[in-house]
């Protein structure tokens, strides 16, 4: 217990930096953390130095780790780091704003250690700056998004892949393609590169866990598509969707990330196919914000920081491989089709909505799609907040572990990625 306290005090301290916190969070589960600072070849622990693998790879400082109890809290640190320099550093007579400071967000992080329970805790206070209330930036040019931060903060995440894709079909895994990836890409943990063909083949084999996950996804996607009232004019599952009426923060973010998932997948397609795919799953990679540390040829400790794509925060962890290897190609076809106006209109098709009853005073029986269109219009007309409720959402006043510091109402728009004090 004393050693844990000393490690926490010296490694983290009472005012930790985001960089130190993220460097201390392991990329593998607790039972996979090296106990000696040395990692064995996961496929051949007894292999020698001349086999094409190194039997052991140094992983200095990896035998100690900061274990975060909540996946959303871990994702929160990752998303905070995307905003740049957000921590307050004000000293007597000094301004806390530097040239690298975020112009939209500031944060105060404090850490404490409880010797009795042998656990630490973080207290985080966020301050919105003036630019957070302005349409201030091109979201396509930045990794930071308030929508990601708030989803972690209010514990809305994660979403399942099936609910974000609205029943997109999945294809079977392609082991030959995996083998091609393994020839040219490094791993984020020892042995870092697999040179023996038979060992690459072993790592690329389809597992029972993969088969079960794929089967479960297909069943969920089929259940969603079976409830749709219409077929997409695109003639495939990669067209159209469902326009739901949920105007809560969870519903708003689910709709938003259902669309953003397409771009997030495309941005991660090449650099994420190993670590987020089934190979990464087999290697027990659970965090993607950095690689495991290794010594370079000069004996210098090297730690490669990564900026993971947004879906690593909002998408359920066990669905990452399904996205990267089984469903992603469908998302790519949507993106390609939506570059044309007809393709965009196909993507916006509403394939199923609760139908309104036959209205009185009309002596012509409405068709099903007409009743659904009428139901859609009536829902939006009767919504308490009007159409603005589908663009702006009032942030919760009460949430687990969250104490709002704002006395008045505070609204947020995921599409604009900005805040407002009134709609």
Confidence check: pLDDT of 19 > 80: yes
**Angle at which helices 328-337 and 249-268 cross, to 10°:** 90
Cα–Cα distances (Å) from 86 to 82, 91, 96, 354, in that order, read: 9, 15, 10, 45
pLDDT reported for residue 138: 54
The pLDDT tens digits for 294-313 are: 766 555 556 677 888 899 99
Residue 211 pLDDT class (50, 70, 90 cuts): very high
Peptide bond into 357 cis (omega under 30): no
pLDDT reported for residue 101: 60
Are residues 190 and 58 in contact, defined by beta-carbon separation less than 8 angstroms?
A: no
pLDDT reported for residue 48: 42
Are residues 299 and 313 in contact, defined by beta-carbon separation less than 8 angstroms?
A: no
Most confidently predicted of 56-70, 124-138, 279-293, 315-329: 315-329
pLDDT mean over 346-368: 87
Joined tokens for residue 340: 């044309």
Joined tokens for residue 167: 């029943």
pLDDT reported for residue 388: 84
pLDDT mean over 124-140: 75
Are residues 82 and 313 in contact, defined by beta-carbon separation less than 8 angstroms?
A: no
Are residues 123 and 73 in contact, defined by beta-carbon separation less than 8 angstroms?
A: no
CA dihedral 207, 210, 212, 215 (to 10 degrees): -130
Confidence check: pLDDT of 317 > 70: yes
Between strands 119-128 and 105-114, the pairing is antiparallel
Q: How far, in Å, CA of 418 to CA of 103, rounded?
A: 13
Residue 400 pLDDT class (50, 70, 90 cuts): low
Are residues 142 and 81 in contact, defined by beta-carbon separation less than 8 angstroms?
A: no
Pick the closest to residue 107 from 74, 134, 129, 139 (CA basis): 129
Classify residue 380 by its DSSP letter.
Answer: H
Q: For residue 390, give the 3-state DSSP assignment.
A: helix
Classify residue 188 by its DSSP letter.
Answer: S
Q: How far, in Å, CA of 208 to CA of 215, rounded?
A: 10
**Proportion of the chain above pLDDT 90, given as a percent:** 30
Q: For residue 399, give the 3-state DSSP assignment.
A: strand
Confidence check: pLDDT of 51 > 50: no
Q: Work out the number of other CB atoms within 10 angstroms of the CB of residue 337.
A: 17
Q: How far, in Å, CA of 379 to CA of 93, rounded?
A: 56
pLDDT reported for residue 254: 94
**Angle at which helices 175-184 and 197-204 cross, to 10°:** 130
Cα–Cα distances (Å) from 152 to 25, 70, 79, 269, 315, in that order, read: 17, 10, 9, 24, 11
Lowest-pLDDT choice from 162-166, 233-237, 417-421: 233-237
Q: How many residues does the chain have?
A: 423
pLDDT mean over 164-190: 87
Lowest-pLDDT choice from 154-168, 275-289, 392-406: 392-406
Pick the closest to residue 77 from 287, 260, 293 (CA basis): 287
Secondary structure string (H, E, C) spanning 320-355: HHHHHHHHHHHHHHHHHHCCCHHHHHHHCCECCCCC
pTM of the complete model = 0.85
pLDDT reported for residue 60: 45
Q: For residue 146, give the 3-state DSSP assignment.
A: helix
């Amino acid at each position: 217990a004393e050693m844990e306290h000393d490690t926490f005090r010296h490694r983290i301290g009472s005012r930790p930096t985001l960089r130190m916190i993220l460097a201390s969070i392991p990329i593998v589960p607790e039972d996979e953390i090296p106990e000696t600072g040395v990692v064995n070849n996961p496929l051949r622990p007894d292999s020698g130095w001349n086999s094409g693998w190194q039997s052991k790879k140094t992983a200095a400082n990896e035998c100690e780790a900061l274990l975060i109890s909540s996946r959303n809290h871990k994702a929160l640190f990752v998303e905070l780091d995307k905003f740049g320099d957000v921590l307050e550093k004000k000293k007597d007579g000094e301004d806390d704003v530097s040239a690298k400071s975020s112009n939209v967000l500031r944060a105060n992080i404090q850490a404490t250690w409880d010797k009795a329970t042998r656990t630490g805790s973080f207290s985080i206070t966020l301050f919105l700056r003036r630019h957070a209330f302005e349409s201030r930036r091109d979201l396509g040019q930045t990794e930071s998004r308030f929508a990601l931060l708030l989803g972690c903060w209010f514990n809305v995440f994660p979403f399942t892949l099936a609910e974000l894709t609205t029943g997109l079909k999945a294809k079977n895994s392609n082991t030959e393609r995996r083998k091609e990836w393994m020839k040219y890409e490094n791993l984020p943990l020892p042995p870092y590169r697999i040179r023996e063909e038979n060992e690459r083949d072993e790592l690329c084999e389809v597992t029972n866990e993969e088969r079960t996950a794929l089967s479960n996804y297909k069943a969920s996607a089929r259940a969603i598509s079976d409830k749709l009232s219409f077929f997409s004019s695109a003639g495939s599952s990669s067209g159209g969707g469902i326009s739901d009426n949920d105007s809560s923060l969870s519903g708003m973010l689910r709709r938003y990330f259902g669309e953003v998932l397409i771009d997030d997948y495309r941005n991660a397609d090449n650099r994420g196919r190993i670590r987020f795919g089934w190979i990464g799953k087999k290697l027990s990679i659970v965090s993607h914000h950095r690689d495991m540390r290794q010594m370079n040829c000069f004996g210098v400790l090297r730690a490669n920081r990564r900026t993971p794509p947004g879906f690593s925060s909002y998408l359920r962890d066990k669905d990452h491989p399904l996205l990267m290897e089984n469903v992603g190609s469908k998302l790519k076809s949507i993106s390609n089709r939506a570059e044309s106006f007809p393709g965009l209109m196909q993507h916006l098709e509403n394939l199923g909505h609760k139908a309104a009853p036959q209205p009185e005073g009309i002596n012509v029986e409405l068709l099903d799609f007409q009743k659904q269109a009428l139901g859609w219009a009536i829902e939006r007309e009767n919504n308490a907040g009007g159409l603005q409720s589908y663009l702006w959402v009032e942030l919760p006043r009460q949430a687990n572990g969250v104490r709002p510091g704002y006395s008045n109402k505070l609204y947020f728009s995921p599409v604009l990625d900005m805040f407002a004090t009134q709609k």
